[in-house]
Amino acid sequence: MSTMKTILNRKGNSFWFIEPEATVQQAVNRLNEKKIGALIVMDDERLVGVFSERDLVRLVATQGPASLDLTIGEVMTTQVFGVKPSTTVDECMALMSDKGIRHVPVLDGKVVLGVVSNRDVVYEAISNRESLLSGMEVLIANHEFPT
């Protein structure tokens, strides 16, 4: 079974982040520039939150355009659900589904090793299943079964 370590080994462990003192406008600019859906909020090397497209939509819907001048520290999601490198793809998919989240930091203790998205996890799950099916097809093709 693939793990978060498998995904990070394939895609790399770099991730985009922003500081809590940055403005929402700066976060929007970074999300757009990097073509990503979420930023990890880091205070020095400490994970303190996440800011996503969903956070932005809720913020602008409730507080209007003036919310772009607020700091990320004021509006970020502070309840962050992380996973370990040893977390399996199925466990991560279950967490993402249960919590309604699309991006999960991979943590070694308190150190952020990288971020996986729902796209990364689904891709890995599909790849594993395709590999398993191919292996079963080969096994079946090379063996005769009594009828």
Q: Give 126's pLDDT tier (boundaries 50, 70, 90).
A: confident
pLDDT for 51 = 98
> What's the one-letter identity of residue 32?
N
Number of domains in the chain: 1
What pLDDT does 76 receive?
A: 96
CATH of residue 127: 3.10.580.10
> Is 10 inside any structural domain?
yes
Examine residue 137 and state whether it is found in any structural domain, yes or no: yes
Q: For residue range 32-64, what is the model confidence (pLDDT) as tens digits?
A: 999 999 999 999 999 999 999 999 999 999 999
Domain boundaries, position 112 = 4-141
- Looking at the domain assignment, is residue 126 inside a domain? yes
* pTM of the predicted structure, to 2 decimals: 0.82
- How many of the other CB atoms lie within 10 Å of CB of 87? 21
pLDDT for the residue 125 = 83
User: How is residue 30 written in tokens?
Assistant: 């970074």
Q: How far apart are the C-alpha atoms of 94 and 72, rounded to whole Å?
A: 28
146 inside domain:
no
Distance (Å, rounded) from C-alpha 65 to C-alpha 15?
Answer: 27
Average pLDDT, whole number, for the chain? 89
Using alpha carbons, list the distances in angstroms from residue 27 to 24, 70, 111, 119, 141: 5, 11, 22, 21, 54
147 within a domain of the structure (yes/no) = no
Is residue 59 one of the residues assigned to a domain?
yes
Whether 102 is covered by a domain: the verdict is: yes
Whether 89 is in a domain gets the answer yes
